[in-house]
Each structure stands twice: as structure tokens, then as C-alpha cells.
Structure 1
């Protein structure tokens, strides 16, 4: 039903400015009564970083930046929702226009610049729903004008860890000048150490909030090796692979392809899935991975799992496929698992990682 309504409304939605359409969607999910999706197929049940997920399909950060529509999003059937990026202090982000649909490419370019209502606004909303069901992560970012960005992540972890199921250190957004420099091994090591220490300051017995790192798809293999070395040494709970890309594939056809910012959607799928497979091979089972980038169907979600993802996320695909996509992907994944005679989809995690890392199998 939801998908049918979206198909009827899509021409009107796509005539709107992309950011206006996004804002209206978040407002609708925040104000309408949340749907109550049925129970997930047990074959989809997944364990990751100490949490139990009823299904592995999540809403990526960037959609609900300020935790306004968490329950509405969970009502669409997602197994978990990641809000943010959140910055310690409110900041407006970059001037508009800053979001562009690439309709011919089923892609989006954004240069939001971590626009955020700030940590306290998000903390208030998360605190008001603490006793409700549903897993919620928070994506952490630094203020643009901060003199000590590592301190920003520590501040966020200290404030938000008690209110979230997991936190994500986002050092891979391309829209805050200098932020990706924090992916360098020495800088990342200091940042992670300080963030973990801040998390531990507010942890209670049995309430150690998992910390993940979100990486860029544009990393070289030596850069990836350095990041994973830090993650393994410091005991990070997981990686999210990957953020948007600054690359512009030759296949892009839209007139908006020259806009600056991070590219997401279908053209990101191959690059992000290959770096996911490379990460899986290097992590050697020490912690799970979340695969994001170009997920827009059962086939692309399944490919992420074959490449090494325990969980998958999407956001841009809803611009083109609508809010019924989570349910569609869940149903398809369960069907594939059962046809293979499996009792758990997790048996297929990383099955084809080596081939995908070589550029095969996608």
C-alpha cells in the first residue's frame, strides 16, 4: 500500500526542490501515527556488537538528522535506524541549494555540511523515547569551526551514549572541510581513544554502548589498512562501509553530475561493495560490518551480505523506490535464505568477499 501511494505521488515529489521534499517526508513520518509492521521472519534475526536485530535492514544516517522521526521510520519495517550526523553545537550547514537528484542515474549529490540542531536537541528527543521498542544509533560529527574536533566526538559520546543503542564516529563526510583528514591513522587513533574513554566515563554495568566508525569509499588500500589497524587495536565494535563518494563515475548522465558534494545511490554500489569486501578480509571476524552504498533492491542488499556485511543500510534509494523498500528487501532476503535451506541468513555473510574484492561476482 505504501509503495502504491508513493508511485502515485512520485511525479509531484520529484517536481519539488530535493531538500524541500526531504523535509516534508521527515515531517510526515514524525507527525503521522507510526505504522506497526508485522513480526520479522526468524531467518532474518541477526546479532551484532552485542545487540539483537529482528532483521538486518537499517535506515542510514542522513535521512533523520535530528531524531525527529525515529518511530515513524521504524514503522516502515527497518530493523534499526541511525540518526544524525549530530554535532555538539547547532550549525546551519552549507547554503542552499545543497541537495541534487540525479534522476537518470538514480543518485543524489548532497553538500549539506552536517547541518544539525545540535546535541541537546537530539538528546531531548532520544530521551523521550527511551522505553520504546526499536534499535537506534547516532552518527557523530564535528562542528565546522571546532578547534579540537576529536574533543567534539568525545563530548558527543559522553552525552549521547546513555541514550543510544550504538554510536558512529563519522570521519568520512566529504562536506566538512578537513573532516576526512581524521581518517589518517595517527589522527584516528587519538580520536578513537578519546571517544572510547568518554563513552566509558558514562557507562554503567552492562550498558557499554558500542562504538562504530564510518569510512569513505575513496580510501586507498594502505589507508584502509591503517584505519582497520586502529579499529582492531582500540577494540572498535564495528565499521560502516561506506559514506558518500567524491568520485564521479563516467557513467553519470544527469546534468547535475558536476555539482560538488558526496554522491550516493546506485552509482556508488560497486565501489562501496568492493571496499566492504576488502575490509571484511582484513577484519578477520574481529567485529561486524554494516554495508551501505547503492542498496536499492534485494539483489544489492544480498550482494552486501555476500561481500561481508552483517547488516545493511540505505537512504538515497527511498528517493526513487519509496518507503516500502525496507519491507521488500526483508521479504526477498528471507526468501533467498529459505530457498538455500538456511535457518539464518547470517550463514551467507562474506561468502564471496574474496571474489568481490578482486572485482568479480557483482
Structure 2
């Protein structure tokens, strides 16, 4: 693995002295610059192997990048160079939107956690697809997931229209598509996890995907990303509905609204979704319940609070087929990818 990846702890102190969103942007920009430089690209490259399959897709390893880190698909190749087995970018909405007012991302270092209320800030579907088509990751054999959402000003009863626009746009360019119905930062979005609402949305997505599969001559797997704050009964409903509507996988989970494990910490009362270590146990419980209820009818991608190889193993032991990282990268740096691959190999 690259020695430069192991140097991240030295850079972390400087990054953590900045506003969290500013540091995020600077890190991605510098990662891209390093990738664009051929000599540096070789030094940064990692390609840990632990071959597996997910939703019928062949992966070099079962450790992926979670959506949200690269909302506009602008850094796919640079991120792919870090050794991921698959990468998911977005969430993209049909139209560009600024997201919520800044500041909107907060670190809780004592809990290895973040709170964000970004609100699907992105440049819109056209810009997103232009970035995706410019990237080389898929052409070189990488597996790319594209994550779709609804615009903040689209009424919830019209949400399906936005998802259908997103699905049609990303379908030809995706190895799989994720339907994000669980961000806590778009008003009423989580209502789509209700039985009637979810069934109606999935029915329309199923029909649209069948039409797109005929048009493009390929079946693209569909996954749904759910919240960690569901009751067991809600999880059971989702586990029953997704296979019934032909959905291939579930991503468990998004960020949590709970603050039980971070009470009293600076920024703990900020609005938004909490990610990092506090979500790990919540995510494990959802994964276990999904696997128990759905059996092997659903592929499960475990995400939330993976900060070590041990955490990744626990996700798999709970029933996940693969894992995704995000907040752990901010606290541990790129070396976490290879650590998790080794732990799962």
C-alpha cells in the first residue's frame, strides 16, 4: 500500500483546524491533483484484492466508497485509485440545488463522528452525467454505483417523478443505481420508507427499469438506501417489499437522528444526520434484522461507523455482503481501505 496513505495522520491536524466542509473540498481537490500527476498517481495507488460478487457484479474486493463524499461524480478516478472494490457517487437530483445554509457539517472528534445537514447540494443531473462520462473508472473495470434523490422543492407526493428522471438519466452509465429515501436533511423524505409510499414508488421504479432494460439491452441492479432509525416492524416491511418489487439490494444504513451516544459533546445538538462510530451498532441491528427476514433474497451493503477492519468484519458477520466507508476515511484516512480489505480477505 502507498506510503503516502500512511502519512494521513500528519495532514489530519491541519485539516481538522479548518471548517469541516472546507477541509472536505480541499482534500478532494488535492487528491485529484495528485492523481492527475502521473508520478504521484503511482505512489498513491492501492489495489488490494479479495474478489467477491454483489448483486451479480464482480468486485475486486468488498470495500466500497459510500455516496455523499463525491456528490457530483467529479473525483471518481482519483477515489478509485485508493483501492476500493466499488464506488458510489451522488446523491444527484434532477435539478441543481445549493443545499442547506452553511455551516452544515460538524465534527465530533471525541465520538469519531460527524453531523451533516448538507441537504443534497449538487450541480444537477446534466453536470453529474458529464462528470461520470469523463471518468475512466468503469472503462478500466471498476464498479460504479450512482445514487439518486429528489429535489428539495419537489412535493413529496411527486417524489417518484424525480426518481424516475434520475433513473432514466443514470441508467446507461451505472453498474448499479441506489435510490436514496433516507437522508434526514430533505423535508419529509423519510416518509417514503412507509409501506404504502414505498410500495407505490417501487412499483413505478420497477416498470421504468423494465423499460430502460429493453431500451439499453442490459439489466442494471437497483438498491435502496434506508435509515438506521427504523422500528423492527418497519425493517420487516422493507425486507418484504424490496424483493417483491425486484429490488436487488439494500444499503443499511444512512445517518441517524439519534443523539443518545453523543450527548454533551460540542456540536451534538446541531440539526442533521449523525455518522461515524455512533451509527455502527444501529446499522448492525438493521442488517441483522434484514438478513433474518429477507434471507438471501436481498444483497446487503453495510455502512455506518466503520473505523477499523474489525468494524468491517462485524458488518459482514451481521449479514452484509459488502461494506462502504465515508466518515471513517475522514478520521483514519485512505489506509483504512486496505485495512478493511485485509480484514475481510
Fold shared per TM-score above 0.5: yes
> Which residue of 131, 138, 142 corresponds with 2:146?
138
State how many pairs are aligned. Answer: 332
Match of 2:211 in 1: 201
Instruction: Verify: 1:306 aligned to 2:317, yes or no.
Output: yes
Q: Is the 2:256–2:273 Cα contact (8 Å) retained in structure 1? A: yes
Q: How far apart are the structure 2 equivalents of 1:76 and 1:121?
A: 24
Counterpart in the other structure of 1:123:
129
CA contact (8 A) 1:291 1:309 kept: yes
Offset, 1:250: 3.7
Whether the 8 Å CA contact 1:82–1:137 is kept in 2: the answer is: yes
Counterpart position of 1:46: 52
In the other structure, the counterpart of 1:348 is none
Match of 1:297 among 308, 321, 327: 308
Aligned equivalents of 1:298, 1:318: Cα separation in 2: 12
Indicate conservation of the 8 Å contact 1:167/1:209, yes or no: yes
2:253 pairs with 1:245: no
Q: Is the partner of 1:169 in helix, strand or coil? A: strand
Identify the range of structure 1 (111-120 vs 21-30) with the bigger mean alpha-carbon deviation: 21-30
Which residue in the other structure is 2:242 paired with?
A: 231
Deviations 1:127-179 (A, max 9, x none): 22353331110111100111311110011001101101111111000000000
Match of 1:97 among 103, 106, 111: 103
Matches within 5 A, 1:1-362: 1-33=3-35, 35=41, 37=45, 39-41=47-49, 44-129=50-135, 131-147=139-155, 148-204=158-214, 207-334=218-345
Q: More displaced, 76-85 or 4-13?
A: 4-13
Measure the CA separation in 1 of the matches of 2:263 and 2:307: 17
Aligned-pair distance for 1:184?
0.5
> Aligned to 1:137, what secondary structure does the other structure show?
strand
> Any stretches of 5+ residues in structure 2 without a counterpart?
none
Q: Matched residue of 2:267: which SS?
A: helix
> For residues 47 and 12 of structure 2, what CA distance do their matches in structure 1 show?
29
The CA RMSD measured in Å over matched residues stands at 1.5
**SS of corresponding position for 1:255:** coil
Give the TM-score normalised by the residue count of structure 2: 0.93
Structure 2 CA distance for aligned equivalents of residues 139 and 237 of structure 1: 14
Find the residue that maps to 1:256 and give its secondary structure: coil
Distance 2:256 2:143 in 1: 27
CA-CA distance at 1:212 after TM superposition: 0.3
Q: Secondary structure at the match of 1:258?
A: coil
Deviation at residue 66 of structure 1 after TM alignment: 0.4
Q: Residues 252, 269 of structure 1: CA spacing in aligned structure 2 closer, same or farther, 3 A cutoff?
A: farther
Secondary structure, aligned partner of 2:251: strand
Pair 317,253 (structure 1): closer, same or farther in 2 beyond 3 Å: farther
Q: In the aligned structure 2, how far is the partner of 1:133 from the partner of 1:29?
A: 21
Contact 1:45/1:54 (<8 A) preserved? yes
Q: Distance in 2 between matches of 1:106 and 1:199?
A: 39
Give structure 1 regions of 4+ aligned residues with deviation exceeding 3 angstroms.
34-41, 250-253
- Deviation at residue 332 of structure 1 after TM alignment: 2.8
Offset of residue 288 of structure 1: 1.0
1:63-83 Cα deviation digits (max 9, x unpaired): 000001111111100101100
How much does 1:125 deviate?
1.3
Uncovered stretches (5+) of structure 1, i.e. residues with no partner: 335-362
